[in-house]
Structure 1
Amino acid sequence: MKFSTILACVGLISLSLSACGGGSPAQAKDAKPEVVNAVPVEVARAARGQIAASYNGTATLVADHEAQVAAKTSGVLIKLFVEEGQSVKAGQVLAQLEQDTARAKLAQAEAQMRAADASFTYNEKAIQKQLIAQKDFDQAKYNMQNLRAAYEEARLNLQFTMIVAPVDGVIAERSVKLGNLIQTNQNLFRIVGMDPLQAVLNVPERQLGILKAGQPVTLDADALPGQKFTGNILRIAPVVDSSSGTFRVTCEFRDKSGTLKPGMFGRVGIVYDQRADALTVPRSALIEEDGETAVFVVEKAPDKPADDKKDGTKKPEAKVADGGKSDAKPVAPGLVAHRKLVKVGYSDGDKVEIRSGIDEGTRVITVGRNAVRDGTAVQVLNVDNEDKQLAQKSAEEKKA
């Protein structure tokens, strides 16, 4: 009876200790810490720098001048002095036609002209002495003028047997061969001017009051990667095409080296304003929604009060099962994303000017912004030197 009473007392004492002990070691072992599901992102800092306002368009280079060289007389082609790709000057001889026929016609026209001159001289003296009628004198005068014109035509035909370049340029095409019988007005060569070259842009009408003649332009040709050429706006069309809502802007490029060629396709940039101290962010940070422009900035989350017991003692830290390892990825604690409305200005390549909404040094999300919302916990993957210094300083303060 006494032994049974002692066992009952021991059992009651064990139950009481279990109720007051705060849980068994097995329960503590099974407890898992709260894991924050942070979204991995990459950020960039808003920084000040130079930005340019520009218009960019595409165009094909065309020659400032081009000429089709045609024959002005007929004859057999007996000499060629130039070939395709050769540079020529205005007045330079390109080819020659046979001249025998032209020389014979010139000699004939000269003889007839001299006979008419002699007849007119005789009739001029005779009319002074009233030996001939006025009618005969006028006829001799007209014959003389007619044969002089015929002589001049024959002289020009002989001159036209020498084919000359009407403009400076490069022989882009030769359409005939030696021995061909050339007819009047037949195309023989095509000459293309290589300097200057022009690019014609069809610019939206909203730029009409911004672009001016003489403004500098740049050209990046697809066929010449890594090379940039400079020029200027030559002229601007004063009217807007009502069907397309654009106006023509003609740009001129002078390339003495001859690297640029007519027909090349390129991208033309026209810088019309610059800011030396603009606050900029990468274009990838911008979010366009409902007519508003915003960015997600990364900020430190507000500190939460410690979860202590009523008696002032903290809860013991729980260990993670499976050897202290966790499937959750390590995260940078205390970072959240906040949506900020911004007002943008100029854009230049991958940079955009921010005129209001954020300050210099603010971290904006550039990669992963579509996966976050206002208040989302984030993990910054590309930690910069400034972030490392702040983390180190925070760690030192905690140790102190």
Structure 2
Amino acid sequence: MDLKRAKHFFTKDNLLGFFKPTKRNYIIWAVIIVLIFEGSCISSKKKASQSVSVRETDIVTRGDINVTITGSAAVEPYERFEIIPKVSGDIVYCPFDVGDIVEKGDLLYGFDTSSSDLTVERQRLSLEQSENSYKNALEERDKLYIKAKNNGTISGLSVKAGQEVKTGTKIADISDTDNLEVVLPFTASQISSIHIGDSASITSSKHMSAVSGIVTHISSGDYAASDGTALYSVTIKFSNPGVFYSGMSVGGAVGQNISPGSGTVENSAASSVYAETDGTISHIYYSNGDYVTKGTVIMLLTSDSVDDRITDSTLSYKSASLSMRQTEKDLEDYNITSPISGTVITKNSKAGDTIDKTTAQTVMMVVADISKLKFELSIDELDISKVSEGQTVSVTCDALPGETFLGYITTISVEGTAQNGVTTYSAEVVIDEPGNLRPSMNIDASVITESAENVLLIPTEDIKSVGKKTYVFVKGGKKDIKEAQSSEKTSKMPENGEKQSDNIPKAPDGYTAVEIETGVANEDYTEVKKGLSEGQEIYRQSTVSTSNTSRYMSGMNSGMGSGHPGGNMGGGPPSGGMR
């Protein structure tokens, strides 16, 4: 059809007539639709012939593989303390600012203590008064024990048990009949040669006996005898051999100086015992004629009033002591010291500020130990058995590219946290040398749980598992495979077309099923211990277009793995090359 005839055919009237619903037009439309459909099918077949799915192979390579547990967190100071006041008042001392280094025990804040000082003084006076009352009560209790004032023999004891006595009632006399003394006169010419401590002798004309003694006192002045002679008194003490008694007249001498007169023997110690407080005699331990030593309890009194006084004074003293201790402890709260050595990272209160702790909790300052940092790493319950305290953790931070930090696990929680059917456990990780890391920075952490170096590696997806055995499909026949891995021990490798055991997977054309022994594995790659040799080609368990007929795995030097809630097996291929 030439151009002139075409213009004549495609007139407005002809085109409108073509779309009229006539039997002729229906036939024309059906023919056109059939032609369009056949053309589309032919085009698809041509495109399909240009892009045919092919099966690819991977190559067994050698490299390193790591299995890691990873997680993300924000680091925080190793220790962090908020300084919160325990008292209200005016701050009079605050020497540290943000960024300053403080040592444990350094004074951070000092409050005005003028009002509390008066309280302390009142408490101190109250305690002294209670202490004096308590001591007086104890002294009153001691008076219930009636004791001998000196060594000697009891006489004049007439009271009985159960008898009430008043203060000042005479209980008994105690005379020391074992140790006696006598005062003898000596002349002025004699006294100059007599000294305290000189030996002396005491004689009795009645018993014609003598006993030794010691000079214990010499009078400083004289007195006149009946004939006017000046005489001096010399006291001599001696032990009673049993024949001397109080009131006996005796003579004596000191060295060569014989006393010109005589003296009367007396007990060296004699006293009367009196009740020093009111009470009732409950026990009498000695009788008349008994010899007692100084301090011996002769009898015991009881007194309800004394007991009550002791009880009251004891309680009063304890109460005052506790009040004083509490007041002193409260006073310590007026000085706030640093609980740790660290750095001041926040300061909200300064000298001159007034603190009212009753209205709201005030954080005056924050002190943190940022010489070390820590964070919490969540570990999935499936992985918790793979980590332990002291295990090394590798830490990186997006804010510090190229830097890697080392930490170690210090504690692992005993109790896990369950959420949405998944249980995780918390592991605390400490970084001893944080370098440029700052608190609150976000980090990524990884813990190597398994690793292998310089081993044979294949993609995990290329492995076929049948029961407890694992297989791969190696390119070539049985003969080719044996020649390629003559140094390896392999499992039974049936050739393509041969009858295979029901437990051995059927290999594709041109491949042989080979049983392998695997080692360290993760989601991407698996270590092969036995069954393959480096460089062998294995069947890839996937299909791709011809535009991607080769797959190479490079840069394989980091761990890889699958994700788990709270921690996952690290991703990335192992070191070496693989395709």
Question: Which position in structure 1 is the counterpart of 2:397?
Answer: 221
The one-letter code matched in structure 1 to 2:132 is: A
Distance 1:380 1:54 in 2: 25
Larger CA Rg, structure 1 vs 2: 2
SS at the partner of 1:156? helix
Cα drift, residue 45 of structure 1? 6.1
Deviation sequence 1:288-313 (CA, Å, 0-9, x none):
99x9x9999999xxxxxxxxxxxxxx
- The one of 309, 329, 338 aligned to 1:165: 338
| 2:373–2:434 Cα contact (<8 Å) kept | no
- Does residue 259 (structure 1) correspond to residue 436 (structure 2)? The answer is yes
RMSD (CA atoms)? 4.5
| 1:196–1:252 Cα contact (<8 Å) kept | no
Cα drift, residue 379 of structure 1? 8.4
Cα drift, residue 347 of structure 1? 6.1
Question: Which position in structure 1 is the counterpart of 2:268?
Answer: none
Cα drift, residue 161 of structure 1? 1.3
- The one of 115, 118, 124 aligned to 1:104: 118
SS at the partner of 1:194? strand
Question: Which position in structure 2 is the counterpart of 1:149?
Answer: 322
SS at the partner of 1:151? helix
Closer, same or farther: CA 250–101 of 1 in aligned 2, 3 Å: same
- Does residue 140 (structure 1) correspond to residue 313 (structure 2)? The answer is yes
Cα drift, residue 241 of structure 1? 4.1
Query: How many matched pairs?
Result: 304
The one-letter code matched in structure 2 to 1:167 is: I
TM-score (structure 2 length as normaliser) = 0.43
| 1:215–1:272 Cα contact (<8 Å) kept | no
The one-letter code matched in structure 2 to 1:203 is: I
Cα drift, residue 351 of structure 1? 6.8
Question: Which position in structure 2 is the counterpart of 1:189?
Answer: 365
Distance 2:82 2:548 in 1: 71
Deviation sequence 1:285-344 (CA, Å, 0-9, x none):
96899x9x9999999xxxxxxxxxxxxxxxxxxxxxxxxxxxxxxxxxxxxxx9999988
Distance 1:107 1:77 in 2: 22
SS at the partner of 1:269? strand
Question: Which position in structure 2 is the counterpart of 1:370?
Answer: 544
| 2:127–2:321 Cα contact (<8 Å) kept | yes
Deviation sequence 1:104-130 (CA, Å, 0-9, x none):
222222222222222322232223334
Distance 1:158 1:208 in 2: 49
Distance 1:340 1:96 in 2: 85
Question: Which position in structure 2 is the counterpart of 1:360?
Answer: 534
Distance 1:216 1:340 in 2: 43
| 2:475–2:511 Cα contact (<8 Å) kept | no
Distance 2:533 2:385 in 1: 32
Question: Which position in structure 2 is the counterpart of 1:278?
Answer: 455
| 2:511–2:539 Cα contact (<8 Å) kept | no
- The one of 116, 124, 127 aligned to 1:113: 127
Gaps of 5+ in 2: 1-49, 144-276, 279-304, 477-509, 553-579
| 1:286–1:295 Cα contact (<8 Å) kept | no
- Does residue 208 (structure 1) correspond to residue 384 (structure 2)? The answer is yes
Closer, same or farther: CA 257–215 of 1 in aligned 2, 3 Å: closer
SS at the partner of 1:122? helix
SS at the partner of 1:209? helix
Deviation sequence 1:238-279 (CA, Å, 0-9, x none):
455443423214142232455333322111111122212212
The one-letter code matched in structure 1 to 2:331 is: L
Distance 1:190 1:377 in 2: 59
Gaps of 5+ in 1: 1-35, 300-337, 382-400
| 1:174–1:190 Cα contact (<8 Å) kept | yes
Distance 1:180 1:143 in 2: 39
Question: Which position in structure 2 is the counterpart of 1:55?
Answer: 69
Distance 1:208 1:248 in 2: 7
Identity rate of aligned residues, in percent?
19
Question: Which position in structure 2 is the counterpart of 1:4?
Answer: none
Closer, same or farther: CA 250–111 of 1 in aligned 2, 3 Å: same
Distance 2:374 2:511 in 1: 47
Distance 1:225 1:196 in 2: 20
Moved more, 182-191 or 112-121: 182-191
Distance 1:102 1:296 in 2: 88
SS at the partner of 1:178? coil
| 1:13-52 map, 5 Å | 46-52=60-66
TM-score (structure 1 length as normaliser) = 0.60
Closer, same or farther: CA 297–380 of 1 in aligned 2, 3 Å: farther
